[in-house]
Amino acid sequence: MTISRRAFIRSAGTTGLVFCSCGLIDAASAQGSYKHPNLGSKRKPVIVNGKRIKTIDVHSHCLFRDAIALMGAEAKTVEPLVKGAPEHYIPLSDKAAVEERLAAMDAMGIDMEVLSINPFWYRKDRETAAAIVKINNERLAELSAAYPTRLTAFASLSLQAPDLAVKQLEDAITRQRLRGAAIGGSVDGEDFYDPKFHPVWAKADELGAVLFIHPQSPPEMAKRFKGNGWLSNTIGNPLDTTIALQHLIFEGTLDKFPGLKVLAAHGGGYLGSYAPRSDHACFVSPVNCNPDVILKKKPTAYLNQMYFDALVFTEEALRHLVAQVGASQVVLGTDHPIPWEEHPVDHVMATTTLSLAQRAAILGGNASRLLNIKDA
């Protein structure tokens, strides 16, 4: 699929791609030798051990307002009420808006972003969800084709209708040339180990498609998350990912689909911080483990076949994550345009327990291999 940038910009004016105006991001350097292009300096490459590194951010977002509009009365709940949104989210109407996004990436030292859309349509009926996903995937494919060296994307799926999701995934990978699919931590209260979802995982395994798990706070915990600290996000989101990954491990899903490429946002939630407890669970309390599910290896070993973004904020947290899952399983992630991590290259380079080769891999090499990005 090919599309010129000019043609993409013309279509975008009517589709309403939502990007960040990036007033959130300081125009100052995101890494010592970097300057924001608006200050008169072009994007400068990341050099590690004398080698140019293509930095790839696997965790960044956008929205399309024509897709949001299909949510009807629920549309107003889709755009996040956080710093920089909605006042800093704007519809893409001209090339300048895209260039502003690219300039923000330059300031962060990011060569390529992998865009995704957090699923807001899982509770809608099949037809509405299909229409939303169609818009999302078409727009993401157009955007990726218009800016092939800077932007690529994970597809959306109507997971509440697994048979439809299988078709959407195959189309996204084979025709639209997307890199995989972004999914939630569950589907309207149903966990991924449910056999109804097995055809989707089988298709992803067959296609070599990456499944990027991005959480949404567990709704059943809403009452306890009330109060100060935005606990629905700070605790709820990592918890949602942790539950999803633990179910994939303990219910044998990863054994059923050994080639499945699972990428978890926010460092995989809490799993990497206390994973060894999982190895003891069925020994301590066999009655709480399903005797019909015999895992092929100990639970912590499955972490070494999954992938995790480096959005864990401190050098010590990144050191520990790498020690638990392996440097080969960690990739760069920022959550851009939400300002969780505005200096991602600095974060990796400051983690001195990593070798230069490991830092280069996390900054881009691992993502290039995982997502089959040829020009990295």
Q: 172-230 pLDDT, tens per residue?
A: 999 999 999 999 999 999 999 999 999 999 999 999 999 999 998 898 899 999 999 99
Residue 20 near residue 337, CB atoms below 8 Å: yes
Asked if pLDDT for residue 17 goes beyond 90, the answer is no
Give the pTM.
Answer: 0.88
* Interatomic CA distance for residues 55 and 376, integer angstroms: 8
Quote the pLDDT of residue 219: 87
Residue 224 domain-assigned (yes or no): yes
Any idea which residue has 């301590």 for tokens?
Answer: 284
Q: What CATH number should be reported for the domain holding residue 324? A: 3.20.20.140
Residue 19 domain-assigned (yes or no): no
Q: List, edge to edge, every strand of the sheet that includes 56-61.
A: 56-61, 112-116, 151-153
Quote the pLDDT of residue 78: 86
- Owning domain of residue 53: 24-371
Residue 2 domain-assigned (yes or no): no
Residue 13 domain-assigned (yes or no): no
Q: 241-299 pLDDT, tens per residue?
A: 999 999 999 999 999 999 999 999 999 999 999 999 999 999 999 999 988 999 999 99
Residue 12 domain-assigned (yes or no): no
Quote the pLDDT of residue 76: 84
Q: 326-335 pLDDT, tens per residue?
A: 999 999 999 9
What is the domain count for the chain?
1
Residue 187 domain-assigned (yes or no): yes
Residue 9 domain-assigned (yes or no): no
Residue 88 domain-assigned (yes or no): yes
Percent share of the chain, pLDDT over 70:
84
CA dihedral (233, 359, 331, 351) in degrees, to 10, reads -10
Quick one: average pLDDT of 335-361? 95
Q: 69-127 pLDDT, tens per residue?
A: 999 999 888 876 555 554 334 344 457 767 888 999 999 999 999 999 999 999 999 99
